[in-house]
Amino acid sequence: MATTALTPAASAYRSGLYEWLTTTDHKKIGILYVVNSFIFFFLGGILALGIRTELALPGVQFVDGEVYNQLFTMHGTTMIFLFIIPMLVGFGNYVVPLQIGAPDMAFPRINALSFWMLPLGGILLFLGFATGGAASAGWTSYAPLSEDRALGSVGSGQDLWIMGLTLIGTSSILGGINFLVTIFKMRAPGLTMFRMPILVWTVLVTSILQVMATPVLTSALIMLFIDRNYGGHFFDPSNGGIAILWQNVFWFYSHPAVYIMVLPAMGMISEILPVFSRKPLFGYKAFVFATAGIGALGFSVWAHHMFTTGLVFLPFFSLMTFLIAVPTGVKMFNWVFTLWRGKLTFSTPLLFALGFLSMFLLGGINGAFSAAVPVDFALQDTYWVVAHLHYVLFGGSVFGVFAGVYYWFPKMTGRMLNESLGKLQFVMIFIGFNLTFFPMHQLGLAGMPRRIADYAANAGWNDLNLAASIGGFVIAASMIPFLWNVFISLRNGKIAGDDPWQANTLEWATSSPPPPYNFDHLPEIRSERPLFDLRHGRTGH
Amino acid sequence: MSSSPRTRPSSGSILVGIVAVAVVGAAATWVVLNGSQILQSFFPPEPKTVQGHAIHDLYDIVFAIAAVIFFLVEGLIVWSVIRYRRKPGDDELPPQTHGHNLAEVIWTVIPTIIVFFLFFVSWQTLNNVEARSPKPDLLVKAVAGQFQWSFQYLPAEAPPDAKPLFTVSIPVGADGGLTLPAGKTTHLYLSSPDVIHAFYVPQFLFKRDVIPGVVNQFDLTLDASDAGQTFRGQCAELCGIGHRVMLFEVHALAPDAFDAWYQGKLKEAAATPTPVPSGAANGPKLDLVAQNVKFDKSALSAPANTAFTIHFDNRDAGTAHDVDILDAGGTKVFDGKDFPGPAAQDYGVGALPAGSYKFECSIHPTLMFGTLTVQ
Amino acid sequence: MTSPSTVLTTGDPGHGVAEHNPVAGLAHDTRGGISNPILGMLLFICSEVMFFSGLFAAYFNVRATSSPWPPVVANDPVLTEHFNLHAEPFYALGLTIILVLSSFTCQFAVWGIRRGDRTGLIRNISVTLVLGIVFLLGQAYDYSTIGFGLADGTFGTTFYTLTGFHGAHVFGGVIMLSVILYRSLAGQFSAQHHDAVEAASLYWHFVDVVWIALFSTLYIL
């Protein structure tokens, strides 16, 4: 087990609260992002439990109308903007500079600023609960409902939502710029673009999406704020405004956003599968092109969220939506053939990666149904869509996040997470997830719309809703072994050493955790697996 | 050097494995026992319109392809997991295959062909579903507001803003809903005075958004066999605090039954309205206001065995409300006629015996209700 | 492995990178090409272009679905007349000329400092700054006399939103130029080190280009 001796100066920096609050070190900032994102994951999860508790049985038991609308609005908003996007940025922050052999990000102080905008933005969003009502027009905040102060968004929460998201969006844009300059300009010698780890590629494409798409959301938010507070008429049809203008501008961002939410997780899977199969990623170049293709095509499909408006050019958006399945399929096959004829070690990171593969597959497939426009007429705005989005974002991205947590926790902390607890969490979350979201396919087909606080007892939806609610609590329970695992491993986990997984990329060529400046020495870089080459004598040293 | 892998699963892992197998086994058993019902749940309901049949057929095609792809890829994953497990102690590297260009070409080209096929098939279906009959048998405007549906029956070939022949304000029940002729084509206009709603009938496999400032239109051709059936519908686009109560029903009637109903409605609309009975001149007067789809009071009281008046002020512009009174057993003892706001009417209520009654708006019964105590 | 770390930059004479100060030289990539801060500014400008694209898209969407445009307000011929910006573009044209001039002077400043001409830098940045402030004051005056407000239909809303956010960006540019001026006076720039001046000038040109697009769209098209 190789270890890198830290120079004396390295351990002399303060690790106290002041250091954490003022750090510009990408590794600490990455950890701050991850911890902050987990806090909001749990908050968003509590909101989800509120939803599932109400829907477990027909009849209004706990929350109705305005409060229920706040629950699902804040659940979606929190999970997307305060959990999954920043969580992936956090992992990128930690891992990308290490993987390219850089000492830090290009703009460390802007990096810190980008982070601190997040808890502030989150506070703004949640402040609505304390000031008369959080936003309640859905995370999609369709106008004119989001402008309707009487029967729609009743409290000041909608304005706080706009402000919080504007702040969070700015954090996103600055982070994207930071990643792009870092990746383009600060790679170690020998690390050409086509030797970058796939995680770096996915962060690169994600960052382009963040820089190009997020500002369009900002413009939409500003227009909505002007309509709500300064007498504007952008989305107000009774004064010459256009109701679906909001949807067009909003989805122009929010569709690329879903790739922001999943591409880095795909990158993480692409790191983990090769290590635990003990062979390289199958089709590296195809992967890069597929990722770029998804990023580009992702800008051309936004109106597939609007098929039922009757106001968009259906054939174009249907075709582009079908086409985006092709690069996604390419990735799927490349991952599967990475496993094929490998020698698989079923550590927890691999289990979650396999979970990603099988669940994201389902999510991609059920999405294809909606690409067929007439079928979308039946499925849009029903629980089928809720199933789809959770299979790709939970079965996909969240499983990817947990794979990343188990994989990189040793590098970040110097300690291994307990394998048995990890496997227990995996089994619980896998079962809970499928129990919660699989029945939603049937519920959507049977006609249950989204965003309803209650349903008729004779509609035939009772059993499936009860199953989904039980599943939700199983997911919640699966967090217990996880949190316990983190707690005991931080104090007493097995010492990890530099490279506990016999991995391929540069972050494992330094100590766990790395020194502030990341590397004392870098191995020679001649392929996308510099550490593998070093270990197996490819570089000739 | 990394830590060596375990050569023997821990007891924790074994326990987890047993639990996993048990759960999967239980699930599989339940699936086998409930087989065909479960299979049906993977498909949309049996469609009731011509357009719905086209959509269902398209769904079947997509489903077949999706199932094949799912089992193929999932099968590969499961096979890899079983077959390529690393044997304990085996430190030799597997063949370091970096890729295979032909494979990449194959699994790019074939999926592209498949998606183009799906695109064309769905485009064909779309043209069928969106087709407009040049001479529909019926013209109806569905008005979606916060939080009710109402249906305006228009003269043939009328524009959307034409004066309706008659309006059905109550969205559900025997006296309300959208009544349509089975086996015929109805052309629907969709209109909203406030926010975006969506007209959704699951058994038609169809929904269309109702967007303020725009009039969406489409044809619905009910199957002839639908006669006598009722289909539930619901708003499918979040429209505010009352979104979940925006239900409606579609009643399909055989053509002659429909004609009879239609003529009856025309007569009703043409007849001079019966005067609203006013209460005794010096009887008690209760005030009730409807605003923002809520009553301003949830409790009213009136003296027993005395006729009284409810002065009902509807302040919701364009939205119809009414006041009905039901006794403890659920029987309607007073049926106020609905009217749109802003307007006020006096409802004259006959004498009621002492007891506890419920009052409600029949159009928004779950949002607007209260207790009337008579003593 | 005994070869020294190859990730650290070593070739920057002005900074004397020492092996025991590993993070020095971070921002100065000696592999050539565009510098980090300037690349960062260009990407930031891309994001700002996308922001304005959203606003322009809204404007064109509203305009394409409104007939006539500018709108004719029933019962209010005075307001209708005020909406007719085509009739009186000259004031806005004046503002345009001021801003275009300021782009020239800004570029003169950049060319100056590339030659090491600190005086030229200071003079030209000062003029650019003054012109920028004049533009802002001129815009404010225009708002006060233009005869319609933000709440006056979609015309008012789109006009004020587009020009208002552009003005906010000019204001941001003015702040940026003030900082550049301060740093220039403090002698912080040289022919070899003036990334901030380049970056600020790129931003200022961007602001100018957006104004030209705005002016053409609102007053001419």
Q: Domain for residue A74, yes or no?
A: yes
Residues C25, C27, C29, C33: is their CA dihedral positive or negative? Answer: negative
Asked if A330 lies within 8 A of B86 by C-beta distance, the reply is: no
Write phi, then psi, for A505 (nearest 5 degrees).
Answer: -110, 170
- Which residues, 6+ apart, have CB-to-CB distance to A59 below 8 Å? A454, A457
Show residues of chain B in contact with A421, CB under 8 Å.
12
Alpha carbon of B295: minimum distance to chain A alpha carbons (Å):
14
Q: How far apart are CA A114 and CA A120, in angstroms?
A: 11
Tokens of A396: 């996909």
Asked if A1 lies within 8 A of B104 by C-beta distance, the reply is: no
- DSSP annotation of A448 reads P
Sheet with B324-326, side-by-side order of all strands: B299-302, B369-374, B355-360, B324-326, B332-335
Reference A376, options A317, A439, A323, A328; nearest CA is A317
Show residues of chain B in contact with A137, CB under 8 Å.
238
Query: What is the residue-wise DSSP string for C133-196?
Result: HHHHHHHHHHHHHSS--TTSHHHHHHHHHHHHHHHHHHHHHHHHHHHHHHHHHTT---SS--HH
Domains of chain C (ranges; CATH) run 1-33 (no CATH), 36-220 (1.20.120.80)
Q: Domain for residue A540, yes or no?
A: no
Give the pLDDT band (50/70/90) at residue B172: very high
Comparing CB atoms, the residue among A217, A231, A239 nearest residue C150 is A231
Asked if A449 lies within 8 A of B93 by C-beta distance, the reply is: no
Asked if A180 lies within 8 A of C62 by C-beta distance, the reply is: no
Q: How far apart are CA B124 and CA B332, in angstroms?
A: 51
Comparing CB atoms, the residue among B103, B206, B209 nearest residue A378 is B206
Q: How far apart are CA B199 and CA B145, in angstroms?
A: 11
Measured between CA atoms, the residue of chain A closest to residue B2 is A500
Are C154 and A240 a contacting pair, CB within 8 Å? yes
Q: pLDDT in tens for each of the 541 residues of chain A? A: 445 555 555 554 556 899 999 999 999 999 999 999 999 999 999 999 999 999 999 998 898 788 999 999 999 999 999 999 999 999 999 999 999 999 999 999 999 999 999 999 999 999 999 998 899 999 999 999 999 887 777 778 999 999 999 999 999 999 999 999 999 999 999 999 999 999 999 999 999 999 999 999 999 999 999 999 999 999 999 888 999 999 999 999 999 999 999 999 999 999 999 999 999 999 999 999 999 999 999 999 999 999 999 999 999 999 999 999 999 999 999 999 999 999 999 999 999 999 999 999 999 999 999 999 999 999 999 999 999 999 999 999 999 999 999 999 999 999 999 999 999 999 999 999 999 999 999 999 999 999 999 999 999 999 999 999 999 999 999 999 999 999 999 999 999 999 999 999 999 999 999 999 999 888 889 999 999 998 887 654 3
pLDDT at C23 over 50: no
Tokens of A243: 């109701």
CB pairs under 8 A between A and C: 146
Q: Does C10 touch chain A (CB under 8 A)?
A: no
Asked if B238 lies within 8 A of A450 by C-beta distance, the reply is: yes
Asked if C57 lies within 8 A of A212 by C-beta distance, the reply is: no
pLDDT the model gives residue A307? 97
Show residues of chain B in contact with A362, CB under 8 Å.
70
Comparing CB atoms, the residue among B81, B129, B208 nearest residue A344 is B81
Domain housing A190 = 13-535
Show residues of chain A in contact with B13, CB under 8 Å.
419-420, 423
Q: Domain for residue A1, yes or no?
A: no
Task: Tell me if ipTM is over 0.90.
Answer: yes
Write phi, then psi, for A108 (nearest 5 degrees).
Answer: -65, -35
Alpha carbon of A373: minimum distance to chain B alpha carbons (Å):
7
Q: Which of C26, C29, C195 to mutate to test the interface with A (most CBs of A within 10 A)?
A: C26
Query: Which B residues in the span 166-225 are in contact with A, Cβ-Cβ below 8 Å?
Result: 194-196, 198, 200, 202-203, 205-209, 211-214, 216, 218
Q: Does B99 touch chain A (CB under 8 A)?
A: yes
Q: Which of A136, A377, A438 to mutate to test the interface with B (most CBs of B within 10 A)?
A: A377
Show residues of chain A in contact with C6, CB under 8 Å.
188-189, 522
Tokens of C122: 């200071």
| CATH value at residue A258 | 1.20.210.10
Asked if B2 lies within 8 A of A337 by C-beta distance, the reply is: no
Q: Which of A216, A221, A306, A507 to mutate to test the interface with C (most CBs of C within 10 A)?
A: A216
The whole-model pTM stands at 0.91
Are A92 and A183 a contacting pair, CB within 8 Å? no
Asked if A233 lies within 8 A of C157 by C-beta distance, the reply is: yes
Q: Does C168 touch chain A (CB under 8 A)?
A: no
Number of folded domains in chain A?
1
Q: Does C8 touch chain A (CB under 8 A)?
A: yes
Measured between CA atoms, the residue of chain B closest to residue A153 is B240
Summarize pLDDT for C196-209 with one digit per residue, the tens. 999 999 999 999 99
CB pairs under 8 A between A and B: 304
Comparing CB atoms, the residue among A101, A215, A226 nearest residue C50 is A215
pLDDT at C2 over 70: no
Comparing CB atoms, the residue among A310, A342, A456 nearest residue B94 is A342
Q: Does C190 touch chain A (CB under 8 A)?
A: no
Write phi, then psi, for B361 (nearest 5 degrees).
Answer: -90, 125
Asked if A233 lies within 8 A of C154 by C-beta distance, the reply is: yes
Asked if A233 lies within 8 A of C3 by C-beta distance, the reply is: no
Reference C177, options C143, C134, C141; nearest CA is C134
pLDDT the model gives residue C27? 44
Q: Which of A306, A445, A495, A499 to mutate to test the interface with B (most CBs of B within 10 A)?
A: A445
Q: Domain for residue A356, yes or no?
A: yes
Q: Domain for residue A458, yes or no?
A: yes
Give the pLDDT band (50/70/90) at residue C12: very low
Q: How far apart are CA C169 and CA C174, in angstroms?
A: 9
Output the CA–CA distances (angstroms, integers) from residue B322 to A78, B363, C66, in the order listed.
Answer: 40, 7, 39
Pairing of strands B247-253, B285-291: unpaired
Measured between CA atoms, the residue of chain A closest to residue C154 is A233
Q: Domain for residue A6, yes or no?
A: no
pLDDT the model gives residue B271? 83
Query: Which C residues in the span 36-55 are in contact with A, Cβ-Cβ below 8 Å?
Result: 36, 39-40, 43-44, 46-48, 50-55
Q: Which of A326, A331, A359, A431 to mutate to test the interface with B (most CBs of B within 10 A)?
A: A326
Measured between CA atoms, the residue of chain A closest to residue B237 is A381
Residues A388, A391, A394, A400: is their CA dihedral positive or negative? Answer: negative
Pairing of strands B343-349, B355-360: unpaired
Summarize pLDDT for C74-122 with one digit per residue, the tens. 888 898 989 999 888 899 999 999 999 999 999 999 999 999 999 999 9
Asked if C71 lies within 8 A of A185 by C-beta distance, the reply is: no
Q: Average pLDDT over chain B, rounded to whole?
A: 90
Q: How far apart are CA A380 and CA A369, in angstroms?
A: 10
Comparing CB atoms, the residue among A218, A517, A521 nearest residue C23 is A517
Are A343 and A277 a contacting pair, CB within 8 Å? yes
Q: How far apart are CA A121 and CA A140, in angstroms?
A: 17
Q: Does C21 touch chain A (CB under 8 A)?
A: no
Q: How far apart are CA A471 and CA B145, in angstroms?
A: 35
In this complex, the chains that touch A, judged by 3 or more CB pairs closer than 8 A, are B, C
Are B229 and B48 a contacting pair, CB within 8 Å? yes
Alpha carbon of A494: minimum distance to chain B alpha carbons (Å):
10
Show residues of chain A in contact with B103, CB under 8 Å.
283, 333, 337
